[in-house]
Amino acid sequence: MIERQEESPKWGVTTKALVALAVMMIVAGMLVRFQHVIPILVLAPILTIIVVPVVQFMCVRLKIPWGLAATIAMLLFVLLLIGASTVLGFAIVQQLQALFLIVQQFLLDLPAQLEHLSQFTYQLGPWVLDFTQFDLAAVGEQVIATIQPLLREVSSLITFLATGVIESLTRIILVLAIAFFLIFDYRRIRAVLKNISIPGYKQDIQRLQRELLRIWQAFMRGQLLIVTITGFLTYLLMQILGVRFPIGLGVLGGIAKFIPIVGPVTAGFIAALVGLFQPSNWFGFVPLAYATLIVVCVVILDQSIDIFLVPRIMGTTLNLHPALILVGLVIGASLAGVIGLLLSAPTIASFLLLGRYLYRKMSDLSPWDPPIDVLAERTPEDPILPRIWKAIKTRWNQGKNSQD
């Protein structure tokens, strides 16, 4: 006689809550214990998102099997990485090191310069600027205390690129290996994730997965193209203006596009510092006028990219408010350093999507009526220069109408 197998007992609400809390604590403990591995775990999926379209193209257009296409794509990427590191790598690293030495020297001299400035009173037309009533030296020290940790981390990263590549070759190989296996089994992994289902929540999980994937794919692929174009245009601009370290400033200007608002401002500030301390220039301008010209040209270039390029490549995928972006930059930098800065925007967009879903469910509202995965709640604003021009034009027309 076959013995009837007893049915597994179901977990109650308390058991489920305790298990979920235990899993969260274990995951948090592992993240703290193995936090040095987090960059590897982050870089490998990013590399996967970048390379997968190439593999898909080879499969669809060239009729190459997926495994062979993944192998060829990774070999091409490795060759490109080796070529870039040998041909341009040393020049880029040297120029970036020189740029950060200039910034560090400026920060070291900042308290003395501000103390000197606080001893004078300046008159600009009807306005009188009396700096003697302000403790500018203390302000400078606060600025240095705020910026130095991040600057130290970036400087150590550049030093690592210059001297520590051989020592950390194992990590690079590990990132490439993880990315290769993720690409090789991309279809299988995607099918497994697609089949994850909780009774009654299959549609919700699929729509959330699809939207999260769209956010990260659009950011990584679109942003990579924007970063490349911005870096090349910045390099050309620095060459035309005759600014020193054009390659380093081009790389810095491109990478700065990963960090909304703060990135382009910082890159323009560093370019202005280079021009300010440059012994001579092609135009024969005094250093302050030359630095001002650099700032104006960088602003025009950045705004042109935001007006004509970004909407056509990125669309409204992230559609984040500037205040949210700035808060995310601060939190990302404090939690994960440079990587936290670079990935703050898509991370905020992902948390907002999940937050809207949780809010709807906790309020007994449908997440899909209206749908939370359609970001139509906020129309993207024009970049700041067109908005300023529209405001000036409106005021001008109002003044003319009042005179008439």
Q: How far apart are CA 141 and CA 5, in angstroms?
A: 73
Neighbours of 30 (CB within 10 A): 11
Residue 128's φ and ψ, nearest 5 degrees, are: -115, 125
By the 8 A CB rule, do 92 and 247 touch?
yes
By the 8 A CB rule, do 353 and 211 touch?
yes
| pTM score, whole prediction | 0.64
Residue 319's φ and ψ, nearest 5 degrees, are: 55, 55
Neighbours of 401 (CB within 10 A): 8
171: amino acid identity, one letter:
R
The dihedral over CA atoms of 330, 333, 339, 345, expressed in degrees to the nearest 10, equals -10
By the 8 A CB rule, do 328 and 348 touch?
yes
H/E segment holding residue 122: strand 121-124
Reading the chain (404 residues) residue by residue, the pLDDT tens digits are: 455 656 777 788 788 888 889 989 998 888 778 777 777 778 888 888 889 988 998 998 888 999 999 999 999 988 887 776 665 656 666 677 677 777 777 766 766 766 666 666 666 556 766 666 666 666 666 666 666 665 565 555 555 555 545 556 777 888 889 999 999 999 898 888 878 777 778 888 888 888 888 888 778 778 888 888 999 999 999 999 999 888 888 888 888 887 777 788 888 888 888 888 888 888 888 888 898 999 999 999 998 888 888 777 765 556 677 778 778 877 877 777 777 777 888 888 888 888 888 888 888 888 887 777 654 444 444 555 555 566 667 766 766 666 65
Q: How far apart are CA 38 and CA 178, in angstroms?
A: 13
H/E segment holding residue 127: strand 127-130
Interior angle at CA 88, CA 86 and CA 91, nearest 5: 110
Residue 298's φ and ψ, nearest 5 degrees, are: -65, -40
